[in-house]
Amino acid sequence: MKIFRFGWLAVGLVFAASLTAATPAADGARTAWFREARFGMFIHWGIYAVPAGEWNGHYYTQGGEWLLRIASIPIADYKALGPKFTADHYDPKAWAALAREAGMKYVVITAKHHDGLALYDSAASDWNVVKATAAGRDLLAPLAAAVRAEGLRFGTYYSQSQDWTNPGGGNYGDAKRWDPVQLGDYDTYLKNVAVPQVREILSRYHPDIIWWDTPVAMTPERVKPFADALAELAPNIISNNRLGKGFSGDTKSPEQHIPPRGYPGELFEVCMTMNGTWGYKTKDTNWKSVRQLLQNLSDISSKGGNFLLNVGPDASGQIPPASVERLQAVGRWMKVNGEAIYATDASPFPRRLSWGRITQKRTATGATTLYLHVWDWPAEGKILLPTLAETPAKGALLATGAAVSAEHTAEGLVVTLPAAAPDADISVVRLEFPGAITVTQVAYNLPGADGRIENGVIDADLHGGADGNFALVGADAGATLTNWKDAGWSLEYTVRVPKAGRWRVTAEVAAEFPAKLTLNVKQKPVVPVEVAATGGPVVWKTVELGVLEFPAKETTLQLKALKDGWRGGPDLRRLWLEPMQ
């Protein structure tokens, strides 16, 4: 996976004429199983699990699978780790059973990552586990068989562009190469190593998914042999959008973050680590909680996406106990609530709801089932589905079967819940409607009687990173955003003002430290903002952030950090737009 960010998500927007026929069509029948699966296991396993983040007595905090490049390890020294990559505790049946127990429907493993080591006996390169490591055997074939024996789909990750050991492999430019043995012609590498290896993988293991990565320098001409291999050997395979220019693939692949509004009408799959790294690291104990993992699964499903959750086995082939414990806990939840995840569609509500998320299923006859994923059980026992016009014929908790009631108010459908939540993390309510439902909610807030537009924190689209995201505390009017610990995080609001012009932006904040921010509308010139300390993290003040020009159409208001002197961002409760006279 990547540490450094590039604008590769846009590469699939333009198709080269020479690739159109070779690129698999994203037809519904071929991708149906993927859309229904919703949840899969990613496995990053390779020789980088031997040093496990440490080299020459120094522990590197960045991704374990990137250690070769980060530490600029001489290639001969890195290859000398081969005898320590034993895989002597590798149990592919146990891995596959764990994925099934967790409620996952497919498994994707790194057949070759950026360090160039193939996890099978490749005729295209001797740098493979059979010839170069103590494992001494094909590691892919038994996993493929075990995964399929569990009734799951099998997929392979392949780093086609970036290869740090095979001569000529892409490396973000020659300037980034640190060992003479890496030198060579890039096109020769693609022709003699990458393309043959992809053909080997497709022919031997018949993967249901191929997961490309880092399409740096992959022009349409370089992409074509790979696309031709797919068309010839795997016409029904599902691929992501990271092969290269002119190839959009089937799925968008946001990494380590959940797109705030998903990609309506398109397949997407969020890949994410369970701790802070993809490959195994001994000292990475930054584990996400079971609650966070369940909320991620719920959130992604509510936007119509898949969740590809990673494990990083050690050099012996053991998955860390912390990963196993979390996957088993997720599996227990899925046994009760999986109906609200598998084969569901995105929420019909264009805005998030303060109490949780929604997925839905619709039949050919028009009947609709809504699944209410209640993250925060209301003390008063009621939750609102705004602007929903219809009344359900039946409602019940998935966990217990206890009935729930619903009635209409001026704001929408109010569902009355039992006094206690059946699940401490997420409880699911099923509402059954005999026909189609009508939701008239808009994606933005409307002006009040005073002309101002008020936005709560639940309306904010939060952009965190690999190290986490903002914390949302509380619900409804009392909800706050806190824990803005990283200057790389940002937030934005989807807004629409009734009249183009200048609008004053104010916010209710609490700040322990002063912070420098920027404010802008849809990437137009930014307005610098300085938020003074308010006297503590619970001392709230209303401050002016700036005056901006807004168009009379739907747009985004972005609030970002400036790294200069960053000690942490302010907590936020409400944000207002006020028209200037």
Q: Are strands 527-531 and 515-521 parallel, antiparallel or unpaired?
A: antiparallel
356-370: pLDDT as tens digits = 999 999 999 989 999
Helix (H, G, I), strand (E, B) or coil at 377: coil
pLDDT band at 300 (very low <50, low <70, confident <90, very high): very high
Same domain, 106 and 251: yes
Which position has the token pair 């509004």? 261
Position 458 pLDDT exceeds 90: no
pLDDT, one tens digit per residue, over 370-415 is 999 999 999 999 999 999 999 999 999 999 999 999 999 999 999 9
Last residue of a domain, one of 300, 316, 340: 340
Residue linked to tokens 């006094």: 419
**Domain encompassing residue 425:** 356-433
The per-residue pLDDT for range 65-119, each reduced to its tens digit, is: 999 999 999 999 999 999 999 999 999 999 999 999 999 999 999 999 999 999 9
Whether residue 443 lies inside any domain: the answer is no
CB 119 within 8 A of CB 128: yes
Half-sphere exposure of 421 (CA within 13 A, CB side): 18
Report the pLDDT value the prediction gives residue 19, as an integer from 0 to 100: 41
Mark 447-469 as b/e (b = at least 16 C-beta within 10 Å): beeeeebbbbbbbbbbbbebebb
CA torsion 90→95→98→103, rounded to 10°? Answer: 170
Are both 194 and 219 inside the same structural domain? Answer: yes
Same domain (yes/no): 365, 464: no
Which residue type is seen at 88? D
Average pLDDT over residues 461-480: 77
Amino acid identity at 290: V
Say what percent of the chain tops pLDDT 90: 79
Q: What is the pLDDT of residues 31-71, one digit of tens each?
A: 999 999 999 999 999 999 999 999 999 999 887 999 999 99
Per-residue model confidence as pLDDT tens digits over 194-251: 999 999 999 999 999 999 998 888 999 999 999 999 999 999 999 999 999 999 999 9
Query: Are 428 and 540 part of one and the same domain?
Result: no
Integer Cα distance of 429 and 356 in angstroms: 11
Side-chain-side CA neighbours of 272 within 13 Å: the count stands at 26
Amino acid identity of 346? A
Quote the pLDDT of residue 214. Answer: 86
The per-residue pLDDT for range 418-451, each reduced to its tens digit, is 999 999 999 999 999 999 999 999 888 889 999 9
For every residue of 293-356, DSSP letters joined together read HHHHHHHHHHTT-EEEEEE---TTSPPPHHHHHHHHHHHHHHHHHGGGTTT-B--S-SS-BTTE
pLDDT at 378: 93
Which of 382, 400, 433 terminates a domain? The answer is 433
Report the alpha-carbon distance of residue 177 to residue 3 in Å, rounded: 17
Same domain, yes or no, for 491 and 422? no
pLDDT at position 462 over 80 = yes
Are 284 and 334 found together in one domain? yes
Query: Does the pLDDT of residue 20 top 50, yes or no?
Result: no
Does residue 501 lie within any of the structural domains?
yes
Q: Please spell the DSSP secondary structure of 241-258, one letter per residue.
A: S-SBTTB--SEE--BSS-
Taking residues 463-480, what's their average pLDDT? 76
What mean pLDDT value characterizes the chain?
Answer: 91
The pTM is what? 0.89
180 lies in some domain: yes
510 conformational bin, left if phi > 0, alpha if psi -120 to 50, beta if neither: beta
CA distance 179 to 176: 9
- Tell whether the model's pLDDT for residue 565 goes beyond 70: yes
Q: Answer yes or no: is 101 within a domain.
A: yes
Boundary residue ending a domain (279, 314, 340): 340
Residue 86 lies in a domain: yes
Same domain, 269 and 150: yes
- Do 505 and 403 fall into the same domain? no
Which residue reads 């892919």 in tokens?
Answer: 140
For residue range 169-203, what is the model confidence (pLDDT) as tens digits? Answer: 976 554 578 999 999 999 999 999 999 999 999 99
pLDDT at 2: 46
Task: Estimate the crossing angle of helix 140-149 against helix 195-205, to 10 degrees.
Answer: 40
**CATH classification at residue 475:** 2.60.120.260
Tell me if 272 is assigned to some domain: yes
Residue 110 to residue 140: CA distance in whole angstroms: 9
Cβ neighbors of 347 (< 8 A, separation 6 or more) are 302, 303, 357, 358, 359, 360
**What is the spatial distance between Cα 581 and Cα 576, in angstroms, rounded to a whole number?**
16
Tell me whether residue 348 is in a domain: no
**Same-domain status, 179 and 227:** yes
Q: Are residues 480 and 412 in the same domain?
A: no
- Write the CATH number for 252: 3.20.20.80
301 and 383 in a single domain? The answer is no
Instruction: Determine the pLDDT at residue 172.
Output: 55
Place of tokens 């912070």: 515
Distances 422 to 184, 327, 333 between C-alpha atoms, Å: 61, 20, 11
Is the same domain home to 411 and 473?
no
Q: Provide the number of structural domains found in the chain.
A: 3
Q: Read off the pLDDT band of 478 (50, 70, 90).
A: confident
Residue 82 lies in a domain: yes
